[in-house]
Amino acid sequence: MENLSSAEEDEPRPGFRARLEEKPTLRRTYRIGVAILGGLVLIAGIVAIPYPGPGWLIVFGGLAILATEFMWAKRVLHYARGKYDAWTDWLGRQSLIVRIAVLLATGLVVLATLYLLNALYLVAGWVGLDRWTWLQSPLFG
């Protein structure tokens, strides 16, 4: 083990970003990794938006990951958060009928995607209703 003088111990070590900047290949590899991870999280969030659960949170998480390395993602994140807040504020001011209509429209989107992904026919088969061929997706027929 090395013996460090007290002056050497007091010197701050370069941070993670500084070490990345010293090595261009490592920096490029890190940016590619951030792009892949952030892109996958973003896509998962977009898919999850109409379903119950944290779809928008996942989208914002993916954008936040991307924003650590890409200025365009930081701008999109800021813009999307503003629009999301405006949407929720608008929806909160609407009558019960409008909020129910939005809920029903969201439910239709969920049903349509489940139909297209053949999930309805799969579940029908589990309960012995595979003769209901109208539940079979045209994409997986």
List, for residues 26-42, the tens digit of each pLDDT value: 889 999 999 999 999 99
Q: Do 20 and 26 touch, CB atoms closer than 8 A? A: yes
> Helix 96-116 to helix 119-126 angle, to the nearest 10 degrees?
80
Q: Does the pTM exceed 0.95?
A: no
List, for residues 106-138, the tens digit of each pLDDT value: 889 888 888 888 888 888 888 888 888 888 888
The answer to whether residue 71 scores a pLDDT higher than 90 is yes
What pLDDT, on the 0 to 100 scale, is given for residue 49?
84
Tokens standing for 131? 């003769």
Which residues have a Cβ under 8 Å from the Cβ of 28 and sit 6 or more positions away? none
Q: Do 57 and 45 touch, CB atoms closer than 8 A? A: yes
Q: Do 103 and 125 touch, CB atoms closer than 8 A? A: no
